[in-house]
Amino acid sequence: MNLKLFVAIAIFSAATYSSNAQTVTAAKQASTINNDKQRIKQGVKSGELTAAETARLAAQTKKLKEEKDAYKADGVVTKDERKDFKEDKKKVSRRIYRQKHDGQTRP
């Protein structure tokens, strides 16, 4: 009897853990997109980003959010989708950094 109870608890714990992992991943993705938006706002405020750079970066950030929403639409985000999102997120983050540090300033 104790073995059955132990197995039932183990299965329940594993199911709970996996559902929490997906929630944490989604929350982390949302916070990284918000972080990018804040970095863009700071670049505009400091004059590091021109109007064209700002528009381009904002469009890329919006596209990244749309990609995340499309992956979440079916309710399950696969390992490949997470990997693709992470790679795209890194690209956008690098672009923000490069544009902020390229020497162009807003007049």
- Tell me the CA distances in angstroms from 96 to 61, 63, 103, one per residue in order: 10, 14, 13
Question: Mean pLDDT over residues 10-18, rounded?
Answer: 68
The reported pLDDT for the residue numbered 9 is 73
The reported pLDDT for the residue numbered 105 is 82
Specify whether the CB–CB gap between 85 and 29 falls below 8 A: yes
The reported pLDDT for the residue numbered 19 is 54
> What would the pLDDT profile of 21-32 be if each residue is shown by its tens digit?
555 566 666 678
> What would the pLDDT profile of 55-83 be if each residue is shown by its tens digit?
999 999 999 999 999 999 988 899 999 99
Q: Which pair of structure tokens corresponds to residue 19?
A: 């559902």
